[in-house]
Amino acid sequence: MTAHSERPVAVFDLDNTLADTAHRQRFLQRGPRDWDAFFAAAPHDPPLAEGVALVRESAEECEVVYLTGRPERCRRDTVEWLAAHGLPGGTVHMRRDDDRRPARRTKLEVLRRLARTRDVRVLVDDDELVCDDAERAGFTVVRARWATPSVALKTAQEREGRT
């Protein structure tokens, strides 16, 4: 967006971009959805090689920022997961625990806030609606299509504002 003297930022989603959530999708596929179990299982997510390689490559030129729909109550597990997998340090933006807005709204809000003071080089995300809205807003997007898509997760992101 606009150029600044600081390094540009590369913004990365977590779930199904850097972290493989396939093993915990079962908690979303039954009713009622078990959100506590879904998020409690996140520390056991295996990393996604394609996303990890891209975040490491991006860190050579950019400051890395993590932008996730995970609720704030998951911060400690999230930061520990990033460190355990040797991912570059960076600010982690998380959803307020009581925020149920669609991910495409919450994430675009953070992107626009970042762009007011920084050059946002790229957003890497698996959520097609987030990517569509970010592109319409003028951001460069890489669509993370290297994880197995989850209908339950997509519904949660858009309709329930849970991740």
Along the 163 residues of the chain, how does pLDDT read in single tens digits?
444 448 999 999 999 999 999 999 899 887 888 989 999 999 999 999 999 999 999 999 999 999 999 999 999 999 999 999 999 999 999 999 888 888 889 999 999 999 999 999 999 999 999 999 999 999 999 999 998 766 666 666 555 555 5
Q: How far apart are the first and last CA of the chain?
A: 26
| Residue 23 identity (one-letter amino acid) | H
Question: Whole-angstrom Cα distance, residue 150 to residue 129?
Answer: 14
Question: Whole-angstrom Cα distance, residue 64 to residue 29?
Answer: 32
User: What is residue 99's predicted lDDT score, i.e. its pLDDT?
Assistant: 86
User: What is residue 3's predicted lDDT score, i.e. its pLDDT?
Assistant: 46
**What single string gives the DSSP state of each residue in 75-86?**
HHHHHHHHHHTT
User: What is residue 151's predicted lDDT score, i.e. its pLDDT?
Assistant: 63
Question: Whole-angstrom Cα distance, residue 90 to residue 31?
Answer: 36
Measuring CA to CA, how many Å separate 3 from each of 27, 59, 124?
43, 18, 20
Question: Whole-angstrom Cα distance, residue 122 to residue 142?
Answer: 7
Question: Whole-angstrom Cα distance, residue 105 to residue 67?
Answer: 12
- Going by C-alpha positions, the residue among 55, 118, 45, 114 that lies closest to residue 88 is 55
Q: Where are the alpha helices (DSSP H) in the chain?
A: 35-40, 49-58, 75-84, 103-115, 128-136, 151-155
User: What is residue 131's predicted lDDT score, i.e. its pLDDT?
Assistant: 96
Q: Which two tokens stand for residue 24?
A: 């915990």
User: What is residue 108's predicted lDDT score, i.e. its pLDDT?
Assistant: 96
